[in-house]
Amino acid sequence: MKTRFMIIMAAMAFVFTSCGNNNTGTNNAGQAQEAPAALDIDQVLASADSLANQEITMEGICTHTCKHGATKIFMMGSDDTKTIRVEAAGLGSFDQKCINNIVRVKGILREERVDEAYLQRWETSVAASTAEQHGDGEAGCDTEKAARGETGNTVEERIADFRQKIAARKEATGKDYLSFYFVEALAYEIVE
């Protein structure tokens, strides 16, 4: 009985391993295989907490590239409330042709936590005039603000907005931070 059970388990392991091996390239017969299916932006954002620090492949419409060397792009899901930032990381920068096209990105999904310590460091860097600037003036990059659900127009308003959202989340869930997800790109391609 034990031997039969072991044979069945070995066969199941072989089937699951064989079926789950979805590599790009060619199979043993030399035939082309399809690339693994990409997640859409909505799926990534809905499952972000369980996908954090994992390699993912995702696809969406690029709505914006960072004006400061195209080191970031923003990809939109089913509507403009579902947006994720992608950082070029080791790639250097993105092609400006990404804008208004479907882009497929392979990368590592990362979590950025905004908590009181983060906000205090931000206030300190602003006071010392060392804060990294994105967009035009102190309002920041409108696309990045939209991706993070920010409503403030000044640094002070943005920080106050985050503090209100952190307090509301702590009351609702006990968590005293906000989570924002972004992708460190390993590779990308313009699909359309």
Q: What confidence category does residue 169 fall into, taking pLDDT thresholds of 50, 70 and 90?
A: very high
- Nearest alpha-carbon partner for 107 in 77, 138, 72: 72
Number of domains observed in the structure of the chain: 1
Contact 90, 74 (CB under 8 A): no
What CATH number does the domain containing 115 carry? 2.40.50.140
Kindly state the helix (H) or strand (E) to which residue 102 belongs, with its residue range: strand 102-114
152 has pLDDT over 50: yes
Q: Is 129 inside any structural domain?
A: yes
| Higher pLDDT, residue 68 or 157 | 157
Q: Dump pLDDT digits (tens) for 60-75.
A: 999 999 887 899 999 9
27 has pLDDT over 60: no
Q: How many C-alpha atoms does 4 have within 13 Å on its Cβ side?
A: 1
Percent of the chain with pLDDT over 70: 76
Q: What confidence category does residue 124 fall into, taking pLDDT thresholds of 50, 70 and 90?
A: very high
Q: Is 139 inside any structural domain?
A: yes
Kindly state the helix (H) or strand (E) to which residue 4 belongs, with its residue range: helix 2-20
**Mean confidence (pLDDT) of the chain:** 80
Q: Is 177 inside any structural domain?
A: yes
| Higher pLDDT, residue 137 or 144 | 144
Q: Domain range holding 172? A: 36-190
Alpha-carbon distance 116 to 122, whole Å? 10
Contact 41, 82 (CB under 8 A): yes
Q: What is the pTM for the complete model shown?
A: 0.72
Alpha-carbon distance 85 to 79, whole Å? 15
Q: Is 29 inside any structural domain?
A: no
Mean pLDDT throughout 159-168?
A: 94
Q: Is 20 inside any structural domain?
A: no
| Higher pLDDT, residue 188 or 32 | 188
- The mean-pLDDT minimum among 112-116, 123-127, 143-147 falls in 143-147
Alpha-carbon distance 95 to 89, whole Å? 14
Q: Is 12 inside any structural domain?
A: no
User: In sequence order, what are the beta bridge partners of 87?
Assistant: 72, 184
Q: Is 78 inside any structural domain?
A: yes
Q: Is 52 inside any structural domain?
A: yes
Q: What confidence category does residue 171 fall into, taking pLDDT thresholds of 50, 70 and 90?
A: very high
| pLDDT score of 37 | 83
- Nearest alpha-carbon partner for 147 in 68, 53, 47, 79: 79
| pLDDT score of 150 | 81
Inter-helix orientation angle 155-173/116-127, to 10°: 170
